[in-house]
Amino acid sequence: MAPIRILVVDDSVVIRKLLSETLSADPELEVVGSASDGRIGLAKIAQLHPDLVTLDIEMPVLNGLETLAEVRKLYPKLPVIMFSTLTERGASATLDALSLGASDYATKPSNTGSPAGAIAAIRAELIPKIKALCAGAVTKLKSLPPPRPPMQVRRPVNRRIEIVAIGTSTGGPNALAEVLPRIPKDFPLPIVVVQHMPPIFTHLLAERLGARSEISVEEGSADAVLTSGHAWIAPGNFHMTVRRAGVSSRLGLNQDRPENSCRPSVDVLFRSVADVYGANVLGVVMTGMGSDGVIGARCIRERGGEIIIQDEASSVVWGMPGLVHASGQADAVFPLNQLAQEIARRVSQSRAPRVTPAQVDRVPQEHLAK
């Protein structure tokens, strides 16, 4: 199988050298060229036909956002990973890039203490994203186990959804921007979200989603009381959990070990909502790389809750939802543009008044005839 061909666009000589050497050391990858600014980068895309581009944000002549806009006009399907600094300015620009069509992002190594640390950081974060984004449809399908029939779940007759829990990763910021703004203002439940992102990013993401949504959206904070019509996004580098506190539920944050190499982890959040709410949970797994959420989805369904997932066609990477599907933990699959409507429908249906057999027996027969 031919290696994945990569073009590195960055104004730093040091970063171009570091990326080129580190990526090329992997036998499945090949850096076919580099460029010091966006204009040169665009010319090299036309010349070299790479499979993927890594793109710096702050560059002379044509910066990363300007370059990305041109790339999307000329090469709408070409995967682009933004390579940005872990600062508020870098995070804000990265979110801008994702909204313009960047496939994903990786943060530049900082405070690693040595070149070896920087190389390890690139191998851990960037290389898996490159391989996930460049896997062809056949490769992706072969990499997933064959789907099992959905696991049979015993759900209480009077089950009533009391919380919605969402997990997502690669492609998640845009997916959340499609779902949360479509949730109605009078939504009767709290929503808790894990989006794999580092610190700073999650705070800015919550602010942006809140500005576009009818419900309130904010970054999760310790001891926040869960209320209806409100969504909380787990802060970067913290697991977010839910716990009972008297008659209310509150958020908890911790820095326990990462799970599935993630902190925050979808599994951690899903397990906690299953423990607290039992069968009264609707879990949603959207686009993302890796397996985070599979164990948590099973916990929700074993307690009698529901899991719905985003379909492959609308996912940037169908890793997380695909593995939930393959493990038999998905009740249903929907395209991204139908998820908000389906969440609202299932919540409304679960909370509608139900007529029990005893109530039917008490209704006069002439009313039943009508």
Whether residue 144 is contained in a domain is answered as no
User: What integer pLDDT is reported at residue 196 of this predicted model?
Assistant: 97
Do residues 104 and 183 both lie within one domain? Answer: no
Do residues 195 and 129 both lie within one domain? Answer: no
Whether residue 357 is contained in a domain is answered as no
Which residue range forms the structural domain that includes residue 22? 4-134
**Residue of 292, 311, 314, 315 with catalytic role:** 292
Question: Which one of 134, 149, 175 terminates a domain?
Answer: 134
**Residue of 36, 51, 103, 196 with catalytic role:** 196
Do residues 115 and 169 both lie within one domain? Answer: no
Domain count, the chain: 2
Q: Which two tokens stand for residue 280?
A: 């009264």
Whether residue 154 is contained in a domain is answered as no
Pairing of strands 52-56, 230-233: unpaired
- Residue 248 a catalytic site member: no
User: What are the residue ranges in the chain where pLDDT is below 50?
Assistant: 137-142, 367-370
User: DSSP strand E in 299-351: where?
Assistant: 306-310, 332-334
Do residues 117 and 180 both lie within one domain? Answer: no
Do residues 291 and 195 both lie within one domain? Answer: yes
Do residues 99 and 225 both lie within one domain? Answer: no
Do residues 182 and 128 both lie within one domain? Answer: no
**Residue of 20, 34, 169, 350 with catalytic role:** 169
Helices marked H in 161-287: 172-179, 201-212, 266-277
Helices marked H in 100-229: 115-134, 137-143, 172-179, 201-212
- Residue 196 a catalytic site member: yes
Whether residue 54 is contained in a domain is answered as yes
pLDDT in tens, 71-104: 999 999 999 999 888 778 889 999 999 999 999 9
Do residues 130 and 176 both lie within one domain? Answer: no
Do residues 167 and 129 both lie within one domain? Answer: no
User: What integer pLDDT is reported at residue 370 of this predicted model?
Assistant: 44
Nearest to 43 by CA among 51, 33, 54: 33
- Asked whether the beta carbons of 242 and 272 are under 8 A apart, the reply is yes
Question: Which one of 115, 134, 153 terminates a domain?
Answer: 134
CA-CA distance, 129 to 195, in Å (whole number)?
15
- Residue 221 a catalytic site member: no
Do residues 194 and 316 both lie within one domain? Answer: yes
